[in-house]
Amino acid sequence: MARWARSGDAGDVSQPNTTWGLLEHAVERAPDAPAIVTDGPPVDYATLHHSAASLATALRDHGVARGDRVALMERNTPAFLTWTFACAGSGAVLVPLNHRLAAVELRAVLADATPRLVLAHEDFRAVLEAATEGLDAPPNVAWIGTGEGSAAMGLPPAPLPGPAFLPAPCEPDDVCHLYYTSGTTGRPKGVPLSHRNVVQHALAATSELDLAGDDVWGHIAPMFHLADAWASLAITAVAGQHAFLPEFEAAAALALMAERGVTVSNLVPVMLQRMLAAAPRCGFTGGSLRLVLSGGAPISPAAVREILETFDCEYVQTYGLTETSPYLTLSLLEPKHRELSEEAQLARRARTGRPFETVELEVVDGDGQPVPRDDRSVGEIIARGSTVTSGYWNRPEETASAFRDGWFHTGDLATIDKEGWLNIVDRKKDMILSGGENVYSTEVENALYEHPAVLECAAFGVPSVEWGEEVRAAVVLSADTSAEALKEHCRVHLAGYKVPKRIELLPELPKTGSGKISKQRLRDGH
């Protein structure tokens, strides 16, 4: 039986309305509570607050003003967490940079965000210097990674703030973070999130997920992406503990969970698959884990069963976007669902889920009318609420296209059942029209994942003279089999027109910076 019930002080959270306010609340509530757990002695919240205030003072003393963008290029480390709050204290807008991007991709982000300052770890000097070369107005760059306080940003020492440190004046609707989408649909778009957006999301998450001060969050997914970044705020809101994995590797992630006593984390699907495969040889059986979340791709009931059995903890499927801070749905079982059969519970956990606390969702047809709640009719998901951005950075036309009549149009296709639970069937751009029939790529992927030798897969459409588009798939194997055997397997589970015409076996699939499979790159390669 997967664990869910726990003791703790979840829900005991007041209502800060800025990011800095979340840290101040944690210090007022539990100054001596451990905030950061590493190999050495834990860092308490009073020390984290002091360090962030010191760096915020250094930023202001060196010219960073309210509303200026400050970009950060760092791995999953305590420094990333500290700089997150330092930027908030200085009034700056934090721009997390994906350190996996090529120089030309980084240059496009920097040209659009126009940061006043870039904070970057020395390890990224070569790619960042190449990225800033040729910019009309190259930003100042401070190299971090050594020293403490302002010395860690390569600047002259600034006086440490006293107890009366005053954060920069800030309104809830001021931009707090500027994220750049992973670019699966083309050139990355800047998504500005306000203090209200991210703080309301953090506070709702503490309630939805029963987060408390005794929780230890594993920062395993990249902190530059909202798959993990939201938890920096939510765990701080309850004065919980932060544990960090600088670079993902399955065995190292399992070791972090075991050694740091991780209780909860959000994992990108490919990470989860690799950790499940590594768990038996690492002797990992769940340890202190009580909850694993995952999103970014659909999941089959069989995969959910493996998670529950291997990690001995609760599993929640999530769905969200950068534009929504990120969560829009959770597959949290309600008491009535726990009375269902095991198979029915697995199917419910594998669904996209019901609306997150802060949002209102609809599934609409091409005319903007709600589709029947019959779990069969397909429409586009639209959303509105306090955690939804107001638009894109410097993109008025794309803002007007995606944000209409108070609703954000996600571009994701789903069904909805009578209980209001959604189930995503595809992205609009990923739906394959083959021989006049709609083929949802998730259907094909779910069938492939039923084969025991499939570790990762992606289904996508490519132009075809005969069919308009034909279905293809790319697969990474965990055991020996052939492409033809996988096709035969699909024929058992799918209608003939949905079976991939070609299956390519690859050593790995191309990924976006957040770890999602890039179908665009697969399509471009065919």
pLDDT digits (tens, 9 = 90+) for 263-308: 999 998 778 888 999 999 999 999 999 999 998 777 778 889 999 9
Beta strands in 80-146 (DSSP E): 93-96, 117-121, 140-144
409 pLDDT exceeds 50?
Answer: yes
Closest CA to 445 of 322, 303, 347: 303
- The CATH H-level (homologous superfamily) assignment of domain 431-524 is ANL, C-terminal domain (3.30.300.30)
Per the prediction, the chain carries an average pLDDT of 90
- The stretch 30-51 carries a mean pLDDT of 94
CA angle 117, 197, 68 (to 5 degrees): 20
Q: Which of 520, 525, 333 is nearest to 430 (CA)?
A: 520
- Read off the pLDDT band of 153 (50, 70, 90): very low
Is 90 exceeded by the pLDDT of residue 194? yes
- 123-134 burial, b at 16+ Cβ within 10 Å, e below that, comes to ebeebbeebbee
pLDDT of residue 152: 45
The β-bridge partners of 359 are: 385
Token pair for 89: 């204290």
Give 428's pLDDT tier (boundaries 50, 70, 90): confident
Distance CA 72, CA 74 (A): 6
| 146 has pLDDT over 70 | no
Rounded CA-CA distance 411/303 in Å is: 26
- Residue 9 is predicted with a pLDDT of 43
Q: Is 228 helix (H, G, I), strand (E, B) or coil?
A: helix
**What would the two tokens of residue 455 be?**
């570790």
Asked if residue 399 has pLDDT above 90, the reply is: yes
Which among 201, 124, 163, 184 is positioned nearest to 430, based on CA atoms? Answer: 184
Q: Which amino acid is residue 261, in one-letter code?
A: G
Whole-angstrom CA distances from 117 to 29, 136, 217, 360, 441 are 33, 15, 29, 37, 42
Q: Is 92 helix (H, G, I), strand (E, B) or coil?
A: coil
Which of 298-302, 322-326, 378-382 is predicted with the least confidence, judged by mean pLDDT? 298-302
Looking at residue 379, what is its pLDDT? 95
The sign of the dihedral angle between the CA atoms of 512, 515, 518, 522 is positive
Element (H, E) at 279: helix 269-282
- Name the more confident of 504 and 271: 504
* CB-based contact 116:64 (threshold 8 Å): yes
Give the residue extent of every domain in the chain. Answer: 19-197, 352-427, 431-524
**Strand locations in 386-431 (E):** 403-404, 407-416, 422-427
Q: Look up residue 361 and give its amino acid.
A: L
499 is written with which tokens? Answer: 């079976």
109 SS3 class: helix
Q: What is the structure's pLDDT at 10?
A: 41
Q: Report the distance separating Cα 75 and Cα 155, nearest Å.
A: 21
Take residue 135 and report the two structure tokens written for it: 């910019």
The DSSP output letter for 338 is G
Among residues 315, 318, 316, the alpha carbon closest in space to that of 329 is found at 318
Residue 513 pLDDT grade (very low, low, confident, very high; cuts 50, 70, 90): low
Q: Which tops the pLDDT comparison, 237 or 437? A: 237
Of 362, 297, 325, residue with least CA distance to 204: 325
pLDDT at 102 over 90: no
CB 360 within 8 A of CB 328: no
**Is residue 472 within 8 Å of 460, Cβ to Cβ?**
yes
Q: How many Cβ atoms sit within 10 Å of the Cβ of residue 259?
A: 12
What fold characterizes domain 19-197?
Rossmann fold (3.40.50)
Query: Residue 94 corresponds to which tokens in the numbers above?
Result: 């934090």
- Mean pLDDT on 61-83: 95
Question: pLDDT class for 468, splitting at 50, 70, 90?
Answer: confident
CB 454 within 8 A of CB 482: no
Q: What is the pLDDT of residues 471-484, one digit of tens each?
A: 999 999 999 999 99
Which pLDDT value is given to residue 426? 82
| Dihedral of alpha carbons 386, 387, 391, 393, sign | positive
**Mean pLDDT, range 298-327, rounded to an integer:** 92
Confidence band, pLDDT 50/70/90 cuts, at residue 486: very high
Report CA torsion sign: 417, 420, 423, 424. positive
Report how far residue 410's alpha carbon sits from residue 399's, in angstroms, rounded to the nearest whole number. 12
Q: How far apart are CA 119 and CA 113, in angstroms?
A: 14
**What confidence score (pLDDT) does residue 163 get?**
57
Buried b (16+ CB within 10 A) or exposed e, 384-407: bbbbbbebbbebeeebeebbeeeb
Residue 251 is encoded by which pair of tokens?
């065995």
Beta-sheet pairing, 291-295 with 314-320: parallel
- Spell out the residues 6+ positions from residue 66 whose beta carbon is closer than 8 angstroms to its own: 90, 91, 92, 168, 169, 170, 174
Residue 181 is predicted with a pLDDT of 84
Assess whether pLDDT exceeds 70 at residue 150.
Answer: no
**CB-based contacts of 394, cutoff 8 Å, min separation 6:** 112, 190
CATH entry 3.30.70.120 includes domain 352-427: no
pLDDT tier, 8 (very low <50, low <70, confident <90, very high otherwise): very low
Taking the model in full, what pTM does it have? Answer: 0.85
Tokens representing residue 142 in the block: 């401070």
| Greater pLDDT, 277 or 236 | 236
CA distances to 8, 79, 459 from 427, rounded to whole Å, are 39, 36, 12
Q: Lowest-confidence range among 138-147, 255-264, 327-336?
A: 138-147
